[in-house]
Amino acid sequence: MAERILVPYDRSVCADTAVEAALRLAREQNASLYVLAMTPDEPDTTGPIPVASLLNDDLIAFMRLGSQMGVRVDGSYLESPTVEQIREAMVTHGIDHLVVANCETLEKTSPNGRMLRTLTTDSPVPTTVLG
- What pLDDT digit, counting tens, does each position of 21-50 carry? 999 999 999 999 999 999 865 555 566 778
Q: How many CA atoms lie within 13 A of 65 on its CB side?
A: 16
Give the confidence band of 85 by pLDDT, cuts at 50, 70, 90. very high
Predicted TM-score (pTM) of the model is: 0.88
pLDDT value for 69: 97
Helix/strand/coil for 101: strand
Per the model's pLDDT, the better-predicted residue between 126 and 1 turns out to be 126
- For the cut 60, the answer to whether the pLDDT of residue 108 exceeds it is yes
DSSP 41: S
Residue 74 forms beta bridges with which residues? Answer: 34
CATH annotation of 4-130: 3.40.50.620
State the greatest distance between any 2 C-alpha atoms of the chain, in Å, as a whole number. 43
